[in-house]
Amino acid sequence: MNKGVARRSNSGPWLVALGAALWGTESAWRIPLNDLFDADVIVFWEHVLILLMFLPILFSQRGGIRKIDKRSWGFLLFSGFAGSAVGTIFFTLALKNGNPTVVNVILNIQPVISTLGAFLLFQDRLTSRFFVYASIAVVAGMFLSVEYPTLIGVSFARAGLNLGTGYALICAVFWGLSTVAGRGIMVDVPLRLAASLRIVVGLVCMTCILLAYGKLKGASLWPVAAQAHPATAIVALLLLASISGAIPLLVYFEGLRLTRASTAGYFEMMQTLAAVCITWGFFHAALHAHQIIAAIILIAAVAMVQKAQAAIESQ
């Protein structure tokens, strides 16, 4: 019995790594889809398909919906809106308007945002080293964001700072705060039910967004570009919703259930590794030398943030 528990515990971090790596593959599908659909339409179809895949889970967990209190519903609604819907739109826009490799590395700043959010919302303690490492991460992110090292007085545009970087930072804020909300949900709501309902909330939000912009119609949902390449559109959407959506969501949370949060943080970085391999290796979105150095420093600083916070939480 103890050996079985140990094996399951040992598999936890690797399930987290696998889930994170599968999440990291989404650039492989979002980048081609950006040529066929608007960003919000991509996210809408993604939610439709994931919800269809999650229907058996949602149906089996339906009895727990009545037990969800107002506080958990608040966290769930925010998580679905900020993380599942709006944050994903900004991520899709970031890939379309910026260097995909830069975008995926910058998103590593999320733990800094979620740690600050947990401090403000749950009164989590912050170690003094948090501010040191967080500052290093922010400065490294600034150097990573520009294509050319810039001197004072040189415009951001000439330095290579573009909309993609801005969208990535907005996405990091939404996803980081969504992580905090997710923590609030998991206190009282089973993970599978929470994951399913988050997709439902995200789909409702996306439907409202498309309705507000007049895109909830055939010409916008399936534009001329998609009609010209229907096989590419369908296959990419299915791969995005399954390999990079539903499957990693279940694998990741199962791993998280068997893994200490402080350990999971390091294995989550497999998402960046997988994403960079795809964006640089297949889409040739290379980094300049100073960006590579900045990326390494940023990731190391975020890792130290997680280590420092884990130490104070274990006291």
The whole-number pLDDT of residue 262 equals 56
CA–CA gap between residue 275 and residue 298 (Å, rounded): 16
CA–CA gap between residue 36 and residue 244 (Å, rounded): 19
**∠60-64-70 over CA atoms, to 5°?**
145
Q: Which residues contact 308 (CB under 8 A, 6 or more apart)?
A: 127, 129, 130, 133
* Closest to 89 measured CA to CA, from 263, 217, 184, 215: 215
Rounded alpha-carbon distances, angstroms, from residue 98 to 104, 219, 289: 10, 27, 18
Q: Do 118 and 289 meet the contact criterion of CB atoms below 8 Å apart?
A: no
CA 28 from centroid of its chain's CA atoms = 15
The token pair that represents 313 in the structure block:
């939480």
DSSP state of 36: T
Crossing angle of helices 289-313 and 110-122, in 10° steps, is 30
CA–CA gap between residue 144 and residue 39 (Å, rounded): 24
**∠264-270-161 over CA atoms, to 5°?**
115
Mean pLDDT, contiguous 10-residue spans, the chain (315 residues): 50 86 95 97 98 95 93 93 94 94 91 85 82 90 74 48 86 90 82 91 97 95 96 97 93 76 71 92 89 92 83 66
Query: 48, exposed or middle or buried, with CB in 10 Å at 0-12, 13-18, 19+?
Result: middle
CA–CA gap between residue 10 and residue 119 (Å, rounded): 30
CA–CA gap between residue 253 and residue 273 (Å, rounded): 19
Give alpha helix (H) positions in 123-162.
128-145, 156-159
Going from N- to C-terminal start, the domains of the chain cover 40-247+284-313
CA 313 from centroid of its chain's CA atoms = 24
In the block, tokens 């259930």 appear at 257
CA–CA gap between residue 47 and residue 84 (Å, rounded): 8
Q: Do 202 and 86 meet the contact criterion of CB atoms below 8 Å apart?
A: no
CA–CA gap between residue 129 and residue 118 (Å, rounded): 16
The whole-number pLDDT of residue 303 equals 87
